[in-house]
Chains A and B, each alone.
Chain A
Amino acid sequence: MSIRDGDFIDELRSTENSRIGLYVLLLAGIVFYLFPVETAVMTMFKTESAFARTLPFAPPGADGFTLEALSTAWNTLRPGLLNSLLMAIPATIMSALLGSLTAYGLTTISWRGQVGVVVLIIAGIFIPYQAVLVPLAQFWFQVFPGLVEGFVNTLFGFITGGSWQYPSRNGYVQLLQLSVTHAAYGIPICTLLFRSYYQSISEEMIEAARLDGASAFSIYRNIILPLSLPMFAVTLIYQFTQVYNDLLFALVLINEPASQVATQRLAALTGGVIQSFNTTMAGAIVAALPTLLVYIVFGEQFAKGVAGE
């Protein structure tokens, strides 16, 4: 009996040990991920001289503390932040919504040639940004204005007398173009995410709804959409981060200083000849705030979506 007790205690001890091991590992993980963030936060509150004489991760101390870097970064980034949100939020919602609708049409409704469309959409995920830059710029700056002008002239030619011009250099129009570009570019990956989720939805339930008299759109609106909220959280977070962090499309499509997005502003802030680390860090932190916020707001739903509940 005593031997057995000993075994039991050993076992208890070993589970305790493995638990301690787990916590050590988790702690190490936290340190690994948060250490650079802590360093950035410390640096952004330091004066140039304090940065030079203290360790990067050490607090600034009373004499080395300043809010100047933060306020410089904030003032430089603020218009860009607003533009970024104006561009990224509609783009994200559009890709998620269109992706979900496309996925619905490709899974729960059956029609001829579906597989071909799925293949094309999956191929769309792998088109590199660089490959489309030139055609994209050409499209938005020449083909599209031409189309709009032609359309307007044909329809309202006698009213405008050819005097109306498509405002391709208008800042908001450029933001809209960037937004639409991102929305279109996001559709394939969103479709793929939603498709795999919809394939797991019970087919009998959809059939029950059809027998209940629901139209294809009503099934989407009343059944599929409410059931895909966790998946929306996943795509919203993923797509928002993608769109918000993009610099390449923004550089090509936006040439009006007033409509520059946050990433462009950040590049301008850090791209000077003289490196001032405190403003760079402050800029990075400020620019990261919206994505951080999105993660916090949708985090729980995100976890559900990833876990496939």
Chain B
Amino acid sequence: MAQLTLDEVTKTFQDDDGEIVAVDQVSVDIEDGEFLCVVGPSGCGKSTTLRMIAGLEDITRGEIRLDGQIINDQPPARRNVAMVFQSYALYPHMTVRENMAFGLEESTDMPDDEINERVEKACKDMDIFELIDRKPGELSGGQQQRVALGRAIVRDPEVFLMDEPLANLDAKLKAEMRTELQELQQDLDVTTVYVTHDQTEAMTMSDRIAILNDGVLQQCATPLECYHEPNNLFVAGFIGEPSMNFFPTTLEGSTLKGEWFEYELSDETVAQVEGTTDITLGIRPEDIEFVQSDTGSNVFDSTVHVVEPRGNENTAHLQFNESMDDQFIATVGGMKQLKAGQRVKVRFPENAIHLFDTNSGQAIRNRTLDEIETVESVV
């Protein structure tokens, strides 16, 4: 049972050129039992944040509280957190059993038989019981990953910290482990902070996502909020695969003038964007509609450049003009045939577009959403 709070946490490093800010006043409240993913590109400060929670890095300014208690100055061992590293960091000279028992031996005065019992139970839970007397060198990557997780579970910590734990696995195993990790976290109901650069992992696993860029927290919200209501250009571009399309435009009257098209805004939207002239129009690939005729507003001609079939859908790279630098992406159903070189008409529906202030990057208007539908349970 633990609530973890980051309060304006800042980390600076000294360099020859002065101070480098790695993490800049990050504040997040992580609820008890919540699964929080911290995502961002490499070097955004996400691992540093995690290491500060673990106690492996000093905190320059700000506070980290666990259940209201400030833990800034507590050594890692006293914080009752368990961490899973990207490299697994298993002890190569110890067996799986010894690897998992080590933490309990060092941090508790639990009797040996109880330690052994807990280790064996964790091994059974993680489905690695038959490997218990092997050494890490004799295990595959996936098995080592399980041991690393088991080593964290057996400690029964207040908080799980995971630093890109799936990064070294192949795609299929990664997908399997993702589901398994989620199940595990739900079963154990332990507060978890999970660092990854992979937005798919963040979207699929977490209760909430915290997106960092250059050490600054961009948004902390549920996966769906981050996807449909991004705070700014960075979040909009980072979340979603393929990424959102962006077109720089200027507002003239009720028209957004881009390099290749003019987009007509409704009065309602014009009222929302009032006062900003440099506007970036964003639209997600799946919201672009292919239409047959010019009926309706905001329909543009374009050429199909490349098609990537994915089975369930086709990803089409489109161009307004034959020049290479204006490509944008649209996805259509897998059974819809498109050919490279084909001329098509595309429509950007107004309820699906996002508008950002080009200069500040802040979102001015996000798409409008239909009511969320729930799948009815069958009795």
Are B91 and A214 in contact (CB-based, < 8 A)? Answer: no
**Could you say which of B14-22, B100-108, B126-134, B284-292 contacts chain A?**
B100-108
Smallest CB–CB gap between A230 and chain B, Å? 11
A212 within 8 A of B: yes
Tell me if B83 counts as interface (CB < 8 A to partner A): yes
Q: Which of A5-13, A86-94, A203-211 contacts B (4 or more CB under 8 A)?
A: A203-211
Q: Is A24 an interface residue (CB 8 A)?
A: no
Q: Secondary structure at chain A's binding surface: helix, strand, loop or mixed?
A: helix
Q: In this assembly, does B77 line the interface, its C-beta being within 8 Å of a C-beta of chain A? A: yes
Of all chain B residues, the one with the shortest Cβ separation from A207 is B56
Instruction: Determine whether the beta carbon of B82 is less than 8 Å from that of A222.
Output: no
List, in ascending order, chain A residues with CB within 8 A of B44's CB: none
Counting CB contacts under 8 A, is B341 at the interface?
A: no
Please tell me if the beta carbons of A207 and B85 are within 8 angstroms of each other in the complex.
yes
For A206, the closest partner residue in chain B by CB is: B89
Instruction: Say yes or no for B203: interface residue by CB 8 A criterion.
Output: no
Contact in complex: B102, A209 (CB < 8 Å): yes
Please, how many angstroms separate the alpha-carbon atoms of A148 and B312 in the complex? 87
Q: Is the C-beta of B336 less than 8 angstroms from some C-beta in chain A?
A: no
**Residues A218 and B106 in contact in the complex (CB < 8 Å), given A207-B85, A208-B83, A211-B81:** yes
B90 at interface (Cβ–Cβ under 8 A)? yes
A200 to B103, CA, bound (A): 23
Closest to B91 in A: A223
**Is A204 a contact of B106 with CB atoms below 8 Å?**
no
Minimum Cβ distance to chain B for residue A211 (Å): 5
Residues of A within 8 A of B76 (CB): 207, 210-211
A212 touches B107 (CB 8 A): yes
* Count: A-B pairs, CB below 8 Å: 62
Instruction: Provide the residues of chain A in CB contact with B106, threshold 8 Å.
Output: 209, 212-215, 218
Contact with B along A159-188 (1 / 0, CB 8 A): 000000000000000000000000000000
Does B87 make an interface contact (CB < 8 A)? yes
Minimal beta-carbon separation of B115 from chain A (angstroms): 13
Q: Tell me the bound Cα distance from A214 to B91 in angstroms.
A: 13
Closest to A210 in B: B76
- Contact residue among A202, A207, A222 (Cβ-Cβ distance under 8 Å from B102): A222
What is the bound-complex CA distance between A215 and B108, given in angstroms?
Answer: 13
A222 and B93 CA atoms in complex are apart in Å by 10
Partner of B56, one of A210, A212, A213, A226: A210
A212→B154 CA distance, assembly (Å): 11
| 1/0 contact string of B323-343 vs chain A (CB within 8 Å) | 000000000000000000000
- The reply to whether B77 and A214 form a contact with Cβ atoms under 8 Å apart is yes
B242, CB-defined interface residue at 8 Å: no
Q: Which of B54, B77, B85, B93 contacts A213 (CB 8 A)?
A: B77
Residue B92 CB within 8 A of the other chain = yes
Q: With both chains docked as a complex, state the minimum distance between the C-beta of B162 and any C-beta of chain A, in angstroms.
A: 12
Cβ of A133 under 8 Å from chain B: no
Q: Is the CB of A211 within 8 A of B102?
A: no
Q: Which of chain B's residues have a CB closer than 8 A to the CB of A207?
A: 54, 56, 76, 83, 85, 89
Interface residues of A (CB under 8 A from B): 202, 204-205, 207-215, 218, 222-223, 226-227
7 contacts across the A-B interface (CB closer than 8 A): A204-B86, A207-B89, A208-B151, A211-B76, A211-B77, A212-B151, A215-B106
Query: Ordered nearest first, which 5 A-B pairs have the shortest CB separation?
Result: A213-B107, A212-B103, A213-B77, A204-B89, A208-B89
